[in-house]
């Protein structure tokens, strides 16, 4: 006989089964035999390992190496290399998403290393179909202790001491529940196990039953002794076939050993368990409905009291506990209540199992000590948000629970703390949502679920949730009214107070909590008929149109360009965008982020097509067709001649108003001219587009600052309406000692001075501090002046807010980038500047979901530069606008109307949003024009003029066949040519490339 | 099957623990058979077989046997490394089933390093 040297523990949970673990196991057996290793290496099928998204999983013992995402094709290599030759196979191991580092040992994978396994202590390491393996890990010792050595009161006392609370969701103290039932008079009592897990996204109970069924049986035996019951029922839904099978095997094995039945372990105590299969109704998870169902009746709740502890199943005193609660019991009895209570918070003891799912990297089952924060679970165990997207909210407790937004992620997992933020611990469903989730639609989804699952017995739940659902559907279809929100809240509170059971009482929770934290999203759906997440499809024609703040008809003009109809293309673009050539070059294109083509290969080069259309219009002298009205008569003052002001002027002029722009600097364009260097935005393009806007009838006062050349008060007296559209031109301070030195320059000020012709001598060696677009623009400008440039950024490159393509261009031009360095102090040394930099490492996650840079103790580097630029953010200079309310450097204008605290004064762009994208400024300018029109028309008692659109027919045809075809490349000036001057870097598509690119559009706007 | 008593329960526990010891960790002795292509050609499989038979007979649960790749000293294969907790690892060379049995019984079980077969004693560098 030979001893085993290796055991291969393959996960046989439902998730791994679904991803093919059975086939992998068969392949393993075959290959092990082929290699003649059958006496040395053994394959064991275990229950759920927890790391479900990486399945099928294989844990190699005693090495502790974890293999993931195995296929039968991987198995021959795995057996030959690792089992026979002792060379673990790297390519099949887990790779950390953030560092791309291979982690062989399961204990080093953050997903596992941060967990504390009590309930799941046997998961993935024992064969759940062999009772002996459970016994080997102290199984049924607790039952023996409870049955032989303890009195019922002592058991209850121990459980009370442990502080264990019901893990099904309500969190009622388990010991207390047992005490009530034990004191209830009666010969016949029952222990019930609730395994009717039904929350969307929750699979804790299933996993426990699949991985360690005996723990639940043992917990029930102990409960039986505590309350004086001799019969138990497990109510498990029929949709859990594997859990049911393993329960069945476990019960039979326990009976065979006499661990169930008469005189268990010679204690004289009798107890047996039966499994009752539920049909999958959500309401049967409610205790009274569950008991009705076991009795063979229709599963409907009844009013309480009497509570089940007095009159439960068949009117006998009963205790009903959740799977996870019962699985905790054996260890509490074995190790004592004090041991259990040593972990957790004041009111929540022990551990809790969560089913982590949704938009996180590591989906699976996690068990953590109570008190662990949501942030730790989502970012450290869950590995953060998938695809580098932004966190939006996490839904706790499924359809009965609520959502927790980003700023509350430090909330600990504690029954009371979670309830305080408007959610519930629930049974442990934790669904993480990113920015692609619409909160209104999420609330609608859960309400739809509860509505469907309502048993219909009581009116508030049956009719009330239906009415709420109707309202939500109305809102998601773009037919909502503001009064709907009030009605939703009223109904919600009414249903909470009057529904018969937990299902109805908690059904409104997702609506209430989304209203609490995301009311603006509801308002956006109602007031603007807009769903920014791009989920509510009735509200838009295509995702790119929806993502664009201007709502440009992207597929429309792409189709026109493809057909060579350039005059119509430029006309269509001008309907929604007064600066096409500018946007075609500098827009940060939110449209491309959501382009459906990316699912096939790459997103369409949308701005580049727009630029081509504008290039063609210039070349062929095509003027856009526009509808000009004469209706508006009034003069409107516009403060600031940047994109927001120009956009407002354009639309006001089209409606017949007389916009007058007041600009402090010598020329119009704002940040477009004084912030963006000409190699990205040639001035002839900018000048030409501004000239066109002015040609519609716009008066311009340059070199005229409000508060200097003319007072704000005077302006208000002269104009019936004013739009404030000032940009963010003032560099923010870094908060670093020595930054006031004359050779430490603000990035935005430098770019402006450069444009004005006041070019400072920056020397030969220059540092730029910051990671945004301004930092890159400064670096590339200084590089063109012949200096060596280094960008210093405190986080990692992937965290830089600058547009990725700009960073690449900068690096190609020979600019250095140093990350994870933070300025500490700047000093003068002779003719140069000395900067002390802290070397940083990545610390905890901050509220933006990025790891915080933390200075490494004692790691300070000193470097010398001739000039240092601070480009860490900008604000607006709002001095001189007396009477206008400001808050932290911005004007808090109304989100929907852009009204300020002064009547007739509207504000938009950077001065409201903080430094924003060009496209946001343009959108605000247009919105301001519409609002000013409404305001002035109302004063004159006339209908608003409104913006009229030219009718342009677009061919509605989808591509017949879609094959992989990457994005057309943009021809660029060679890097060595670029740094010689300020010539435009991107040369633009020619007609052939443009049309080829256009044909990649999938035409999501065409409704078939 | 008759009803279990607490003694039976403990017996099952002992017996199963022996079978499943590989999963529990806490091994005090690690024996590595170097099974590169060179090692297998020189007879490492037979050495492994002998070792696993000895291990089974010994009924010890605190010993783990690992296969690993070539050490880089192909001419001295088959190599076997014995690591006893708290002692420097010993590498044996030119092993065969007989030598393996001797090393297991004398070194692993009784603590006598078999210097005649040893290639080197590796100093632990911390």
| Predicted confidence (pLDDT) per residue in A793-808, tens digit | 999 898 898 988 899 9
CATH of the domain at A739: 3.50.50.60
Residue with tokens 């998870």: A285
Whether A743 and A722 share a structural domain? no
Both tokens of residue A164?
């264990």
Residues 6+ away with beta carbon under 8 Å from A547: A534, A590, A591, A593, A594
Q: Do A4 and B22 touch (CB under 8 A)?
A: yes
Name the A residues in 68-87 with CB < 8 Å from any B CB: 83-87
**For residue A347, which phi and psi values (nearest 5 degrees)?**
-105, -10
By CA distance, what is A135's nearest residue in B? B13
Chain B residue with CA closest to A133: the answer is: B16
Which residues are CB-contacts of A277 (< 8 A; sequence separation ≥ 6)? A236, A237, A238, A244
Please give the pLDDT value at position A55. 87
Please give the pLDDT value at position B126.
44
Q: What are the angstrom distances between the C-alpha of A274 and each of A229, A279, A576?
A: 13, 16, 68
pLDDT of residue A240 exceeding 90? yes
CB contact under 8 A, A87 and B25: no
- CA A105, CA A430: separation in Å to the nearest integer? 26
CATH number, domain of A174, equals: 3.40.50.11540
Output the domain CATH number for residue A480.
Answer: 1.20.1440.230
Q: Is residue B3 part of a domain?
A: no
CA distances from A586 to A189, A574, A589, A725, B49 (A): 74, 17, 9, 19, 70
Would you say residue A584 has pLDDT above 80? yes
Q: Roughly how many angstroms between the first and final C-alpha of chain A, as a whole number? A: 70
Report the alpha-carbon distance of residue A894 to residue A114 in Å, rounded.
44
pLDDT at A804: 87
> Over 70: is that where the pLDDT of A30 sits?
yes
Q: Does A258 touch chain B (CB under 8 A)?
A: yes
Identify the pLDDT of residue A634: 94
Please provide the DSSP assignment of A844-867 as one string.
Answer: EE-TTSSEEEEEEEEEEEEEEESE
DSSP state, residue A409: T
User: Minimal Cα distance from B41: which residue of A?
Assistant: A85
- Beta-carbon neighbour count of residue A149 at 10 Å? 10
Tell whether A145 and A276 lie within a shared domain.
Answer: yes
Please, which residues bridge with residue A431 across strands? A357, A395
B23's enclosing H/E stretch is helix B21-24
Could you list the residue range(s) of the whole structural domain that residue B85 is in? 30-121
Question: How many whole angstroms separate alpha carbon A620 and alpha carbon B13?
Answer: 89
Nearest to A144 among B9, B25, B65 (CB): B9
Alpha-carbon distances, residue A594 vs A359, A500, A598, A696, A861 (angstroms): 16, 44, 8, 34, 42
A141 and A290, same domain (yes or no): yes
A9 interaction partners in chain B (CB closer than 8 Å): 23
CA–CA gap between residue A425 and residue A347 (Å, rounded): 13
CA–CA gap between residue A269 and residue A221 (Å, rounded): 9
Q: Confirm or reject contact between A141 and chain B (CB < 8 A).
A: yes
Residue with tokens 């293309």: A569
Q: Are residues A725 and A752 in the same domain?
A: no
**Angstrom distance (rounded) from CA A295 to CA A277:** 12
Give A26 to chain B, closest Cα distance, Å.
21
- Are both A150 and A243 inside the same structural domain? yes
Q: What is the pLDDT of residues A398-422, one digit of tens each?
A: 899 999 999 999 999 999 999 999 9
CA distance A897 to A908: 10
Mark which of A489, A510, A539 sits at the end of a domain: A539
Evaluate whether A327 touches A195 at the Cβ level (below 8 Å).
no
Exposed/middle/buried for residue A458 (C-beta within 10 Å: 0-12, 13-18, 19+): buried
Asked if A237 reaches chain B (Cβ–Cβ under 8 Å), the answer is no
Residue with tokens 């000895």, as numbered in its chain: B54
Q: In this structure, is residue A891 part of a structural domain?
A: yes
Helix, strand, or coil here: A841? strand
Which residue from A39, A86, A258 is facing B67, i.e. has the nearest CB? A86
Q: Do A85 and B40 touch (CB under 8 A)?
A: yes
Do A673 and A715 lie in a common domain? Answer: yes
Q: Residue range A765-769: average pLDDT? A: 96
Does B95 map to a domain? yes
- Prediction pTM value: 0.87
For residue A11, list chain B residues with Cβ-Cβ distance below 8 A: none
A269 touches chain B (CB under 8 A): no
Same domain, residue pair A719 and A751: no
CB–CB of A166/A502 below 8 Å? no
**Choice between A749 and B72, residue whose per-residue pLDDT is larger:** A749
Inside any domain, residue A944: no
Residue A445 lies in a domain: no
Q: Is residue B113 part of a domain?
A: yes
Q: Does A5 touch chain B (CB under 8 A)?
A: yes
ipTM of this predicted structure? 0.88
Which residues of chain A have a CB within 8 Å of the CB of B29? none
Tell me, yes or no, if B35 comes closer than 8 A to chain A by beta carbon.
yes
Indicate the DSSP class of residue A263: S
Taking only residues 522 to 581 of chain A, the set having a beta carbon closer than 8 angstroms to any beta carbon of chain B reads none
- Predicted confidence (pLDDT) per residue in B75-121, tens digit: 888 999 999 888 888 999 999 999 999 999 999 999 888 988 888 77
- Coarse DSSP helix, strand, coil percentages of chain A, rounded to the nearest 5 percent: 40, 20, 40
Q: Which residues of A touch B6 (CB under 8 A)?
A: 144, 148, 265-266
A82: closest CA of chain B, how far (Å): 8
Residue of B nearest to A136 (CA): B13
Residues of A in contact with B37 (CB under 8 A): 85
Q: Residue B125: is its pLDDT beyond 60?
A: no
Q: E strands, A327-470, where?
A: 351-358, 364-369, 391-396, 402-405, 429-434
Domain stops at, among A437, A466, A490: A437
- Residue A863 counted as domain residue: yes
Dig out the tokens for A974 from the structure. 């060679």
- Residue A852 CA to residue A682 CA, distance in Å, equals 38
Q: Are strands A318-322 and A190-195 parallel, antiparallel or unpaired?
A: parallel
State whether A266 and B3 contact (CB < 8 Å).
yes
> Any chain B CB within 8 A of the CB of A107?
no
Instruction: Give the torsion through C-alpha atoms of A456, A462, A463, A465, to 10 deg.
Output: -160
Chain B residues within an 8 Å CB radius of A78 = none
- Judge residue A136's burial from the number of C-beta atoms within 10 Å of its C-beta, 0-12 exposed, 13-18 middle, 19 or more buried: buried
> Tell me, what's the pLDDT at B123?
64
B5 touching A, CB under 8 A? yes
Is residue B97 in a domain? yes
Note whether B69 contacts A: Cβ–Cβ < 8 A.
yes
Minimal Cβ distance to B23: which of A86, A125, A265:
A125
A670 phi and psi angles, rounded to 5 deg: 60, -135
Short-list A214, A218, A229, A185, CA closest to A319: A229
Q: Give the separation between CA A543 and CA A599, rounded to whole angstroms.
A: 13
Distance, in Å, from the CA atom of A333 to the CA atom of A155, rounded to the nearest integer, reads: 7
Q: Looking at CA atoms only, how far is residue A120 from chain B in angstroms? A: 15
Q: Are residues A323 and A459 in the same domain?
A: no
Q: Give the closest residue to A807 by CA, choosing from A840, A768, A845, A837.
A: A768
Closest CA to A979 of A796, A744, A783, A841: A783
Q: What's the mean per-residue pLDDT of chain A?
A: 93
Q: Is residue A444 part of a domain?
A: no
Between CA B6 and CA A258 the distance in angstroms is: 11
Q: Per the structure block, which two tokens stand in for A146?
A: 């409870």
Which of A2, A3, A121, A126 to mutate: most B Cβ within 10 Å? A3
Assess if residue B42 is contained within a domain: yes
pLDDT reported for residue A803: 87
| Count of all residues that appear for chain B in the document | 126
A891 and A907, same structural domain?
Answer: yes
- Where does B69-117 show beta strands of DSSP type E? 80-84, 90-92
- Asked whether residue B21 is assigned to any structural domain, the reply reads no
Kindly state whether residue A775 falls inside one of the protein's structural domains: yes
- In contact, A314 and A192? CB cutoff 8 Å: no
Task: Kindly report the nearest CA distance between residue B43 and chain A, in angstroms.
Answer: 13
The residue of chain A nearest to residue B59, with distances taken between CA atoms, is A3
For chains A and B, count residue pairs whose Cβ atoms are closer than 8 Å. 106
Q: Is the domain of A526 the same as that of A497?
A: yes
Asked if residues A610 and A573 have their Cβ atoms less than 8 Å apart, the reply is yes
Same domain, A752 and A804: yes
Domain count along chain A: 7
Give the pLDDT confidence of A161-208 residue by residue, as tens digits.
999 999 988 899 999 999 999 999 999 999 999 999 988 888 999 999
Rounded average pLDDT over B57-64? 88
B41: contact with A, CB 8 A cutoff? no
Of the partner residues B17, B36, B56, the one whose CB lies closest to the CB of residue A1: B56
Does B49 reach chain A within 8 Å, measured CB to CB?
Answer: yes
Residues A376/A412, Cβ–Cβ less than 8 Å: no
Q: CA–CA separation, A99 vs A88, rounded Å?
A: 21
Which of B5, B12, B22 lies at the smallest CB-CB distance from A132?
Answer: B12
Q: Is residue A260 part of a domain?
A: yes
**Alpha carbon distance A422, A400 (integer Å):** 11
Task: Show the domain range for A459.
Answer: 453-539
Is the CB of B25 less than 8 angstroms away from the CB of A6?
Answer: no
Closest CB to A263: pick one of B3, B35, B56.
Answer: B3
Q: How far apart are CA A51 and CA A387, in angstroms?
A: 19
Helix (H) or strand (E) holding A868: strand A867-870
Residue B78 maps to which CATH number? 3.40.30.10
Asked if A62's CB is within 8 angstroms of B57's CB, the reply is no
To test the contact with chain A by mutation, choose from B58, B67, B72 the residue with the greatest count of A C-beta atoms within 10 A, namely B67
DSSP-H helix ranges across A295-438: 323-335, 337-341, 374-375, 415-420
Tokens of B71: 């050490």
Q: Tell me, what's the pLDDT at B116?
A: 86
Cα(A290)–Cα(A501) distance, integer angstroms: 12
The alpha-helical segments, DSSP class H, found in A499-624 are: 502-506, 509-527, 543-547, 554-562, 566-576, 580-586, 590-593, 606-619
Task: List pLDDT tens digits, range A847-901.
Answer: 777 788 999 988 999 999 999 999 999 999 888 888 899 988 899 999 999 999 9
Domains identified in chain B, total number: 1
Residues of A in contact with B55 (CB under 8 A): 2-3, 5
Does residue A120 fall inside a structural domain? no
Q: Please state, in angstroms and as integers, the Cα–Cα distance from residue A384 to each residue in A53, A390, A663, following that order.
A: 14, 9, 45
A307-365: pLDDT as tens digits: 999 999 999 999 999 999 999 999 999 999 999 999 999 999 999 999 999 999 999 99
Least Cα distance to A57 among A197, A205, A211 occurs for: A211
Q: Do B49 and A63 count as a contact with CB atoms less than 8 A apart?
A: no
Query: Within an 8 Å CB–CB cutoff, is residue A39 touching chain B?
Result: yes
Per residue, the 3-state secondary structure of A193-218, as one string, reads EEECCCCCCCCHHHHHHHHCHHHHHH
According to the model, what pLDDT value does residue A842 have? 85
Window 111-130 of A, Cβ < 8 Å to B: 125-126
Alpha-carbon Rg for chain A, nearest whole angstrom, is: 34
Place of tokens 């509207």: A906
Do residues A230 and A327 share a domain? yes
């Amino acid at each position: 006989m030979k001893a085993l040297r290796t055991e291969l523990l393959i996960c046989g949970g439902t998730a791994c089964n679904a991803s093919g673990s059975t086939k992998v196991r068969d392949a393993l057996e075959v290959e092990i035999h082929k290699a003649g290793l059958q006496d040395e290496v053994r394959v064991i099928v275990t229950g759920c390992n927890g790391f479900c998204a990486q399945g099928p999983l294989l844990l190699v013992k005693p090495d502790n190496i974890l293999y993931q995402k195995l296929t039968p094709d991987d198995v021959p290599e795995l057996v030959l290399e690792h089992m026979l030759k002792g060379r673990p196979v790297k390519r099949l191991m887990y790779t950390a998403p953030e560092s791309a580092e291979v982690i062989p040992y399961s204990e080093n994978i953050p997903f596992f290393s941060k967990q504390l396994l009590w309930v799941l202590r046997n998961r993935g390491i024992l064969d759940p179909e062999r009772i002996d393996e459970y016994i080997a890990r102290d199984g049924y010792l607790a039952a023996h202790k409870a049955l032989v050595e303890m009195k019922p009161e002592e058991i209850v006392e121990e459980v009370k001491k442990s502080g264990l609370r019901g893990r099904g969701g309500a969190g009622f103290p388990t010991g207390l529940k047992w005490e009530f039932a034990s004191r209830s008079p009666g010969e016949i009592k029952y222990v019930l196990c609730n395994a009717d897990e039904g929350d969307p996204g929750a699979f804790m109970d299933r996993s426990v039953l699949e991985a360690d069924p005996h723990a639940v049986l043992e917990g029930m035996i102990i409960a039986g002794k505590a309350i004086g019951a001799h019969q138990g029922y497990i109510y498990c839904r029929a949709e859990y076939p594997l859990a049911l099978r393993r329960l069945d095997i476990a019960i039979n094995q326990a009976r065979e050993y006499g661990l169930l039945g008469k005189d268990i372990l010679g204690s004289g105590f009798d107890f047996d368990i039966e499994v009752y299969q539920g049909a999958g109704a959500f309401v049967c998870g409610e205790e009274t409905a569950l008991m009705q169902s076991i009795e063979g009746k229709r599963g409907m709740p009844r009013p309480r009291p009497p509570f089940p502890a007095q009159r439960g199943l068949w009117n006998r005193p009963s205790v009903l506990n959740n799977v996870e609660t019962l699985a905790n019991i054996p260890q509490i009895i074995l190790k004592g209540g004090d041991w259990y209570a040593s972990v957790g918070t004041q009111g929540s003891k022990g551990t809790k199992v969560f089913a982590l799912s949704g938009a996180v990297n590591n989906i699976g089952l996690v068990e953590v000590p109570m008190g662990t924060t949501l942030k730790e679970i989502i970012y450290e165990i869950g590995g953060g948000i998938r695809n580098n997207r932004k966190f939006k909210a996490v839904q706790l407790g499924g359809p009965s629970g609520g959502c927790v937004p980003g700023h509350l992620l430090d909330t600990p997992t504690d029954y009371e703390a979670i309830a305080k933020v408007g959610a519930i611990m629930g049974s442990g469903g934790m669904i993480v949502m990113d920015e692609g989730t619409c909160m209104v639609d999420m609330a609608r989804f859960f309400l739809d679920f509860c509505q469907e699952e309502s048993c219909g017995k009581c009116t508030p739940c049956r009719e009330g949730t239906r009415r709420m659902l109707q309202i939500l559907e109305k809102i998601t279809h773009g037919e909502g009214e503001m009064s709907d929100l009030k009605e939703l809240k009223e109904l919600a509170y009414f249903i909470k107070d009057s529904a018969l059971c937990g299902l109805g009482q908690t059904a409104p929770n997702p609506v209430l909590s989304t209203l609490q934290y995301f009311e603006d999203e509801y308002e956006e759906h109602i007031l603007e008929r807009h769903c920014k997440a791009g989920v509510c499809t009735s509200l838009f024609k295509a995702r790119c149109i929806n993502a664009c703040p201007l709502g440009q008809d992207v597929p429309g003009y792409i189709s026109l360009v493809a057909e060579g109809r350039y005059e119509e293309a430029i006309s269509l673009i001008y309907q929604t965008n007064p600066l096409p050539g500018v946007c075609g070059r500098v827009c940060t294109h939110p449209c491309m982020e959501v382009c459906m083509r990316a699912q096939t290969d790459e997103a369409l080069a949308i701005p580049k097509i727009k630029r081509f259309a504008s290039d063609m219009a210039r070349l062929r002298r095509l003027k856009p067709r526009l509808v000009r009205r004469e209706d508006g008569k009034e003069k409107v003052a516009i403060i600031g001649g940047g994109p927001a002001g120009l956009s407002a002027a354009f639309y006001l002029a089209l409606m017949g108003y007389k916009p007058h722009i007041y600009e402090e600097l010598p020329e119009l364009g704002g940040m477009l001219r004084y912030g963006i260097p000409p190699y990205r935005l040639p001035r002839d393009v900018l000048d030409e587009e501004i000239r066109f806007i002015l040609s519609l009838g716009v008066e311009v006062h340059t070199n005229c600052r409000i508060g200097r050349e003319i007072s704000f008060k005077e302006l208000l007296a002269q104009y019936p309406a004013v739009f404030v559209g000032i940009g963010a031109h003032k560099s923010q301070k870094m908060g670093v000692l020595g930054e006031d030195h004359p050779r430490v320059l603000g990035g935005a000020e430098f770019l402006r001075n450069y444009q004005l012709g006041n070019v400072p001598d920056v020397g030969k060696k220059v540092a730029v501090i910051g990671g945004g677009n301004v930092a890159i623009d400064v670096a590339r400008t200084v590089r063109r002046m012949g200096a060596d440039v280094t960008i210093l950024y405190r986080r990692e490159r992937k965290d830089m807010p600058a547009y990725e393509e700009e960073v690449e261009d900068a690096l190609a031009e020979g600019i250095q980038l140093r990350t994870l360095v933070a300025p500490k102090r700047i000093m003068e040394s002779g003719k140069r500047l000395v900067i002390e930099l802290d070397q940083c490492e990545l610390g905890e996650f901050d509220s933006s979901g990025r790891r915080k840079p933390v200075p490494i103790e004692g790691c300070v580097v000193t470097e010398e530069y001739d000039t240092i630029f601070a480009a860490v953010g900008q604000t607006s200079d709002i001095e001189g606008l007396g009477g206008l309310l400001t808050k932290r450097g911005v004007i808090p204008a109304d989100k929907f109307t852009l009204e300020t605290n002064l009547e007739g004064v509207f504000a938009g762009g950077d001065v409201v949003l903080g430094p924003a994208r060009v496209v946001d400024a343009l959108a605000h300018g247009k919105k301001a024009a519409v609002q000013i029109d409404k305001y002035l028309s109302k004063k004159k008692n006339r209908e608003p003029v409104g913006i009229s659109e030219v009718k342009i027919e677009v061919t509605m045809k989808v591509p017949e066949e879609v094959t992989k075809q990457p994005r057309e490349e943009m021809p660029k000036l060679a890097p060595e040519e670029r740094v010689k001057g300020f010539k435009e870097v991107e040369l633009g598509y020619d007609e052939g490339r443009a049309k080829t690119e256009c044909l990649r559009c999938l035409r999501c706007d065409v409704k078939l | 099957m008759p009803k279990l008593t607490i003694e039976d329960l403990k017996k099952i526990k002992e017996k199963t623990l022996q079978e499943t010891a590989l999963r529990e960790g806490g091994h005090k002795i690690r024996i590595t058979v170097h099974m590169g292509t060179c090692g297998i050609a020189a007879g490492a499989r037979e050495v492994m077989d002998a070792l696993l038979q000895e291990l089974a007979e010994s009924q010890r649960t605190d010993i783990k046997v690992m296969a690993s790749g070539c050490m880089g000293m192909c001419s001295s294969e088959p190599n076997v490394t014995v690591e006893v907790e708290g002692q420097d690892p010993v590498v044996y060379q030119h092993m065969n089933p007989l030598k393996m049995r001797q090393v297991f019984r004398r070194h692993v079980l009784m603590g006598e390093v078999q210097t005649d077969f040893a290639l080197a004693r590796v100093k632990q560098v911390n």
